[in-house]
Amino acid sequence: MLLRRMCPGRYTADASIWVGVVSILAAFNIKKARNETEEEIDFGPTFTHGITTAPHPFPCAITPRSLNNGVRELCVVDI
């Protein structure tokens, strides 16, 4: 009987993704974007087609939860 080989780093990859997502959710408020009249912008999710799928860009508002946790320095970009 042949067994399928498994990736030895799969647990590390899962843990890394989990840490990344949890860090973003802990540091930022993620909400629906608002228009000029401060109403939430509704949208229907659309996805790319092909071998892999990914969502198309969508409107959202991402703001730091606290200005004292060092996230603001990471968010500010000089252009």
Task: Note the pLDDT tens digit of each residue in 10-46.
Answer: 899 999 999 889 888 888 899 999 999 999 998 888 9
Closest CA to 75 of 29, 38, 36: 29
Of the pLDDT bands very low, low, confident and very high (cuts 50, 70, 90), residue 47 is very high
Residue found under tokens 């991402």? 62
Whether the model clears a pTM of 0.75, i.e. scores above it, the answer is no
- For the record, the structure tokens of 7 come out as 């990736």
